[in-house]
Amino acid sequence: MIREGRDDTTRRRYLRCAAVGAVVGVAGCLDVGGLVNDGESDTGDGGGSGDGTETVAPDTETATETPESGWTGTDAGPGAGTSTPALSSIQGTYRAYRAGPERRSFAPGAGAPADEARKALTLPLTASVYQPVVAGSTLYLARQSHEPGEPTVEAFDLASQTWLGGRDLNVPANGPPAVTDDLLFVATPDGTYALTPDGTIEWSTSEGASSGFVPTATDDRVFVVGDGDLTTLTHDGSVEWTIPLGDDPLAAPAADESTVYLPLPRGDNATLVAFDAADGTSRWRRSVTIDRGSPPVVAGETVYTASELVQGGVTAVSTADGNSRWEGTARPSRPPAVTADYVVSAGRGLVRAYATDGSTAWEADVVDDILAGPVATDDTVYVGIGTQDLSVLLALDIASGETRWSLPFDRPIDAPLAILDGGLVVVTREGSGAGRVHLVTEA
């Protein structure tokens, strides 16, 4: 493929040819990790100006097919074979970083705990993991670090409490996988991998290498950022188009079925660019305030950005042309959760809900630091608050901000929350760096 500013010899990316990843077997308890940043895995550096928008025709090469058998290490995890009715019905569609390609942190229709909550299942961790991802009854966990012989991605069946196994890609993941109906997409420093739900490596490509960003997967495309490019892959690994960006983005893109939204640095500011998903042409660009590692959020006809800076807050712009819709003054420490009726931000001990017209619906002073969230269902918003030693999971009524319940933990919540139909997945960290995964259900 042609790249801006490079000679012909280096314009083409090689595609991985060797078989990847020795398989790994892990016995006993779920062997994953604890010391996790609060979801801000999108740490790609940016700086200066430049956001090239030239669409570049791809090479005829496609991703290397590297089929390998499914998950390895099928020994049962804690409580295997003893599933209770309360757990056997657990399902989820929280399939990517911040729920999905739109990054809304919203699970519509999910029956997560609303009135009371309990810790129904706890799994020990021995390595750092990113935000949990759930598809059906399967919990997927990606490690932040990698040691020889250890898995990069692991799977656990929540309903049967059965350890399914892991897959070693020989490198750590950049973030949680993005799961579609047929594949799991995992970004690594070496590129992008596609796995089937049973852990088989379907294909791999060097596209997306070295970026530190998670993939953004829709029903028919995968958008990856790497080495100063935005690239679109089909689900068979073929490159549809590539755009040289001129600079590393500030965060992973958000996407709907027609458009990709990517924040790029421009001097001391940022520009949000909307690219046509089909061919990569630039539809519009807009100056915004957005924090590094904080992806945009797209919901219907609006895109939201968030910044904790003094001049920041929540900004809402039109998906059609980038024109401003409204700005909120609360200074969130992470992107908002966006439901059908509310835009919920959290930071500096304050949770604030805006109506979709930008008016403030309510505020809740939670005093302590926001450790995780917000994430939301149709009627409840969840945040993790606390200190370096203790934490509390709070459930707030999404219409009023009133506390519905609180659940204490004797260690800090240390990763973004994931919502299930019937529960939430919470990662905590031990003082030593080890941690646990908790399944929280209705009491």
Q: What are 289-343's pLDDT values in tens digits?
A: 999 999 999 999 999 999 988 667 999 999 999 999 999 988 899 999 999 999 9
pLDDT of amino acid 66: 58
Amino acid found at 313: G
In whole angstroms, give the CA distance from residue 102 to residue 138. Answer: 21
Residue pLDDT, tens place only, 345-390: 999 899 999 999 999 999 999 988 899 999 999 999 999 999 777 9
Q: Which CATH superfamily is domain 8-442 in?
A: YVTN repeat-like/Quinoprotein amine dehydrogenase (2.130.10.10)
In whole angstroms, give the CA distance from residue 111 to residue 89. Answer: 11
- The pLDDT-based confidence of 7 (bands split at 50, 70, 90) is very low
- Residue 4, pLDDT > 90, answer no
Instruction: For residue 30, give the nearest of 165, 128, 149 by alpha carbon.
Output: 165
How far from each other are the two terminal CA atoms of the chain, in whole angstroms?
A: 55
Cα separations (Å) of 57 from 3, 23, 64, 231, 239?
A: 10, 35, 19, 11, 9
Instruction: For residue 426, give the nearest of 366, 386, 399, 397 by alpha carbon.
Output: 386
H-only helix segments in 219-281: none
pLDDT of amino acid 233: 97
In whole angstroms, give the CA distance from residue 5 to residue 356. Answer: 43
Sequence-distant (≥ 6) Cβ neighbours of residue 57 within 8 angstroms: 1, 2, 241
In whole angstroms, give the CA distance from residue 48 to residue 52. Answer: 13
Instruction: For residue 425, give the nearest of 147, 26, 30, 28 by alpha carbon.
Output: 30
Q: Per-domain residue ranges for the chain? A: 8-442
pLDDT of amino acid 8: 28
